[in-house]
A and B are shown apart, each in its own frame.
Chain A
């Protein structure tokens, strides 16, 4: 097998405690390889460190121990080229038009003006935002705003796309439809996709492989392969195997979710 696109070795994250105590062991140790062009999802109970894992790969935070590599180069707290991130929250800049929001993605990329125009036009069409280029985010629905954020990420033509619960704030129907679009984009761009989600059905529908994370400190306790064809869409949920995948995810996750519930109901004492 060729070299992994993203590779994590013995990655742990401990947040130092403000009172000088032991600190919060949030994550790891984690070993993980993402293959070039695969769609990988991570599910886990809330507070298990899923988002921290994504931030480690994005270079937004650095690992306490272990190494994270992207295309063979180590990521250490600085954001590498070729990685695009979409967050759950609405991250559109409200003072910029849709077009300018998307152009923002290109401000650090050294490409000619014509090439920028071409790319912006391209993603506007791709995301169905062509008619809204001059609109402002406040004039758009939540789903449309999330499209703008995705477009802003796609315009840099990332080779690795990190999605942090990108549809978490959307309603169920919109989520399914956005899922279809993400699958289409994944096929068209050939990028590796790393998706964090708490929705089992979303992970089961979209991903080639799904990792299940334990309660904090988050570790990978199971990896499920879906064996879906590359040409797939939300109709995959009608399949018998879809139920089997979701059931297996839930089996692995149920106990961890119970642990999390027990911890949080015990009160805030163990949070620090």
Chain B
């Protein structure tokens, strides 16, 4: 176990070193107009993190993202469990979900803006619509794939409906639901940031767009670095939990 952990830590370090080297090499190739080297970026990021404005933008983004993700997960679970337990509804609605999911969601943004106005609610709505469907589809499959023998075993042991859900259905479906959560997390983050980039006055997405407008390459690099580090760290953590669950369940 510990040697496996060391191995994966070593792999991660090699990957990071490789990315930094590629970044530096790319900088030498394209120059100052489009990039800053890693060291300069890290220094600028450290300075950026001492400003109040940065924390205001960050907290705005985190709030929007947290609410959007909560909505996506809650709605996705309800839809997924609902359809998972009702075969006919699943047959009717699953193809629709898949079809809706394939719509480029950015095309819906103008409508959302008109519906919710500029600001937090539109961002949240845009983030949430990215996450709901994957969470719902994964949950639907998870519920559908529960082995009937496990439910039968529960009945043999005299479990009531509530205990059946708590002790058998939920744990049996958990690994796949968690995979849905992981995918939903990544997509909701994309949705939230996209929402901030096009119509907002605050947030990291807005900060990024402003930096592009001002051709502030340091700022672009710093925000991108922070977002990449955040997304990669959380995703790696979620993936580790996901794998653990799939191994054990």
Question: What is the interface of chain A, defined by CB distance below 8 A to chain B?
Answer: 58, 60, 79, 84-85, 87, 89-91, 93-95, 104-105, 107-108, 136, 138
Pick from B152, B153, B156, B249: contact of A94, CB below 8 A: B249
A-B contact pairs, 28 of them (CB 8 A): A60-B152, A60-B155, A60-B156, A79-B155, A79-B156, A79-B157, A79-B158, A84-B156, A87-B153, A89-B147, A89-B149, A91-B149, A91-B153, A93-B153, A93-B168, A93-B172, A94-B249, A95-B171, A95-B172, A95-B174, A95-B248, A104-B167, A105-B157, A107-B157, A107-B167, A108-B158, A136-B248, A138-B247
Report whether over half of chain A's contact residues are helix, strand or loop; otherwise say mixed. loop
Question: Complex Cα distance A92/B159, Å?
Answer: 16
Q: What 0/1 pattern do residues 163 to 174 of B give for CB contact below 8 A with A?
A: 000011001101
Bound Cα distance A87, B153 (Å): 9
Give chain A residues whose Cβ lies under 8 Å from the Cβ of B247: 138
Q: Name A108's contact: one of B152, B157, B172 (CB within 8 Å).
A: B157
The CA-CA distance from A41 to B167 in the complex, in Å, is: 33
Identify which of B152, B159, B171 gathers the most chain A CB atoms within 10 Å of its CB.
B152
B240 within 8 A of A: no
Q: Is B150 an interface residue (CB 8 A)?
A: yes
Residue of B nearest to A89 (CB): B149
Whole-angstrom CA separation of A99 from B77 in the bound complex: 31
Interface 1/0 per residue, B1-16 and A, CB below 8 Å? 0000000000000000
- Nearest chain B CB to A82 CB, angstrom units: 12
Q: How far is B147's CA from A90's CA once the two chains are assembled, in angstroms?
A: 10
- Residues on A with C-beta less than 8 A from B171 are 93, 95
Once bound together, how far apart are the Cα atoms of A95 and B247, in whole Å? 9
Q: Return the contact of B248 from the options A84, A94, A105 (Cβ within 8 A).
A: A94
* Minimum C-beta distance from B161 to chain A (A): 14
Within residues 147 to 195 of chain B, which ones have a CB less than 8 A from any CB in chain A? 147, 149-150, 152-153, 155-159, 167-168, 171-172, 174
Q: Which residues of B pack against A, CB within 8 Å?
A: 147, 149-150, 152-153, 155-159, 167-168, 171-172, 174, 247-249
Chain B residues lying within 8 Å of A84, measured Cβ to Cβ, are 156
- Whether the pair B157, A91 counts as a contact (CB closer than 8 A) is no
Complex contacts, A87 vs chain B, CB 8 Å: 149, 152-153
CA distance A85 to B155 in the complex (A): 11
- Chain A: minimal CB distance from B202 (Å): 43
Of listed A79, A84, A93, A138, residue having the most chain B CB within 10 A: A93
Who on chain A is nearest to B160 by CB? Answer: A108
Alpha-carbon distance between A195 and B124 when the two chains are bound, in angstroms: 59
Top 10 A-B residue pairs of the complex, sorted by shortest distance between their CB atoms = A89-B149, A95-B249, A95-B171, A91-B153, A108-B158, A91-B149, A85-B156, A94-B249, A79-B158, A136-B248
- Point out the residue from A91, A95, A104, A138 that lies within 8 Å of B152, measured CB to CB: A91
- Contacts of A60 on B, CB cut-off 8 Å? 152, 155-156
B158: nearest chain-A partner, CB-CB: A108
Q: How far is the CB of A39 from chain B (nearest CB, A)?
A: 21
Give the CA-CA distance A85 to B157 in the complex, in Å: 9
Shortest beta-carbon distance from A235 to chain B in Å: 33
Given contacts A60-B155, A95-B172, A108-B157, contact A90 B149 (CB under 8 A): yes
| Given A93-B171, A104-B157, A136-B248, 10 extra CB contacts under 8 A | A60-B156, A79-B156, A87-B153, A89-B149, A91-B153, A93-B153, A93-B172, A94-B249, A95-B172, A107-B157
Instruction: For residue B79, give the distance in angstroms from its CB to the closest CB of chain A.
Output: 24
Q: With the chains together, A146 CA to B198 CA distance in Å?
A: 58
A138 contacts which of B147, B150, B248 (Cβ < 8 Å)? Answer: B248
Smallest CB gap from B249: residue in A: A95
Q: Which residues of A contact B168 (CB under 8 A)?
A: 93
Bound CA span A58–B156, Å? 8
Contacts of A95 in B (CB 8 A): 171-172, 174, 248-249
Q: Given the complex of chains A and B, what is the CA–CA distance between A110 and B172 in angstroms?
A: 26
Bound-complex Cα distance A85 to B153 (A):
8
A137 → B minimal CB distance (Å): 9
Contacts of A104 in B (CB 8 A): 157, 167
For A94, list chain B residues within 8 Å (CB). Answer: 172, 248-249
Q: Name the A residues within 8 Å of B172 (CB-CB).
A: 93-95
Per the bound structure, the CA–CA distance linking A194 and B172 in Å amounts to 30
User: Measured between alpha carbons, how far is A14 from B108 in the docked complex, in Å?
Assistant: 54
Q: Please name the residue on chain B nearest to A85 by beta carbon.
A: B156
Chain B residues with Cβ below 8 Å from A91 are 149-150, 152-153
With contacts A136-B248, A138-B247, A138-B248 taken as known, whether A93 is within 8 angstroms of B158 at the C-beta atoms is: no
Question: How far does the alpha carbon of A60 sit from the alpha carbon of B247 in the complex, in Å?
Answer: 31
